[in-house]
Chains A and B, each alone.
Chain A
């Protein structure tokens, strides 16, 4: 089982139980998560709006300053403003997350659809392939990709994407199989529609919504993984304003300047929590819609 399958499972589990009450319009947690997400998207798209400074501008004479009014998150070893860097780093970090998720989801959809729709030999083969890929749990597949192509932002993104793909593929295949055997698809089959037409008309729309949920959950996970790779020195490199790279730079000074590690890490956690909460919320809403 992959992280994603687990996340999806958690949503499905709640559905099976039917235990959770119909959600209020917007819960407190959801509201907060939404606000965080809005902030992150703004930070990614128009960082200048939230932090007008230059994330690379140095000021050696005001290095290592703790959080204060002029420097909300303090400054780093070169006197760069950490708030500005964290905000400007959002774009990089989110982009890596989104790209990795796109790669993973894209491959997952491809493999999952092939297996789920064609069945038989293709299904068997894809399942075997997935089985093999699952024997590289967690970061292992990502590390293997980095071994081959060397460290760097691009490799790290691809590595995370590839290592999440099997999880997506298995969920999508399962989803397709269950939708295919549902009543309305059977009805369509009886009406004489071709399989691919049914796929386009009936099945895809029914699997798209869960995909949205998966992607939301996945982006959070992908960002955590990509920053982990940067932290280990295998992804983005300083002085790039990327959260993992900032954390990596900050750990040298952890004994004297905790804020250099704390704030970039806080944003990673916030992103992951927001993504999970929103993913679940979307899931719940669709279920009741």
Chain B
């Protein structure tokens, strides 16, 4: 709650720093050269003629009731607009996260099994993957799969095929980070007594790896989910733009470009809420996965 209030306050006052008259922005920017009457009417409509503090509390009141105001550019209520865009981004994020885990685990298990060279190659790949900027990876994937091979659509389409490239773009760099995080714990876990005893009990090597080691290695990675969430949101801004996919990221970028303040605030608030929820969930998950934390 505190963080939400602070985020609202911060954005409210930060937005007052924007040079220019918000009434003018609503009417289409300085180019519109709106008449004095039109400006006054807009100020009254949006409550911009009230003292700052009154506006501030009015805004807080509206936020408390879930009213995020009205978009300057799109002339739509921000709440439904932003919530409507949430789904697309969520699908993208969840699929990417899942794929990133699969890639990271596959790479990590392969390279921890394959000896020194494999380990070096594996960790090298992870560093490179983690360094790939989304915008470049997206472009490269489009050139490769859409233009040269012609097998996947270059824009996001309703079907599953349209999701492949955007998800891949988000998943690969994330997998690079995840891989680096789980590598060391995985190695330690594989050499630890409980794995050796499990092996001695006759369980297959593969089963041991997957059950014990990964469970152990996932603890630090779960605590990463807050970070992963932020990274996916930043990535979504780029990916949704490049693949012309509707979603929060594209909405946010459009709004920033045309300075549609209520929409930017709406997206930011929504992300903040999601982030806070994420942090709570992460804490819970860590408690479940890590007996040491549970004991405390």
A–B contact via C-beta, under 8 angstroms: yes
A17 to B183, CA, bound (A): 11
Shortest distance between the CB of B266 and any CB in chain A (Å) = 12
Chain B contributes a number of interface residues (CB within 8 A of A) equal to 60
B180: chain A residues within 8 A (beta carbon): 10
A132 and B18 form a contact (CB under 8 A): no
* A5, closest chain B residue (CB): B227
A193: chain B residues within 8 A (beta carbon): none
Q: Residues 180-200 of chain B: 1 if any A CB is under 8 Å from the residue's CB, otherwise 0?
A: 110011011000000000000
Work out how many contacts link A and B, with CB atoms closer than 8 A: 152
Say if the beta carbon of A111 comes within 8 Å of chain B: no
Stretch binding the partner chain, chosen from A49-57, A65-73, A88-96, A138-146:
A138-146
Interface of B is mostly: helix
Q: Residues 249-272 of chain B: 1 if any A CB is under 8 Å from the residue's CB, otherwise 0?
A: 000110111010100100010011
* A268, closest chain B residue (CB): B133
A13 and B139 form a contact (CB under 8 A): no
A135: chain B residues within 8 A (beta carbon): 3, 7, 271-272, 275-276
Stretch binding the partner chain, chosen from A40-48, A77-85, A97-105, A271-279:
A271-279
| Known pairs A140-B233, A147-B261, A231-B135; A128 contacts B272 (CB<8 A) | no
B220: chain A residues within 8 A (beta carbon): 9, 13
Q: Which residues 1-57 of A have a CB within 8 angstroms of B?
A: 1-3, 5-6, 9-10, 13-14, 17, 19, 29
Interface size class of A (residues with CB under 8 A): 35 or more
Give the 8 A-B CB pairs with smallest separation, nearest first.
A137-B230, A138-B234, A265-B136, A272-B131, A139-B234, A1-B227, A138-B230, A135-B272
Task: Please give the residue numbers on chain A whose beta carbons come within 8 Å of chain B beta carbons, in ascending order.
Answer: 1-3, 5-6, 9-10, 13-14, 17, 19, 29, 128, 131-132, 134-140, 143-144, 146-148, 151, 220, 224, 227-228, 231-234, 247, 251, 254-255, 258, 261-262, 265, 268-269, 272-273, 276-277
> Could you list 15 A-B pairs, sorted by A, with CB under 8 Å?
A6-B227, A14-B184, A17-B187, A19-B184, A136-B271, A137-B231, A139-B233, A143-B252, A224-B131, A247-B136, A251-B139, A265-B133, A269-B133, A272-B133, A276-B127
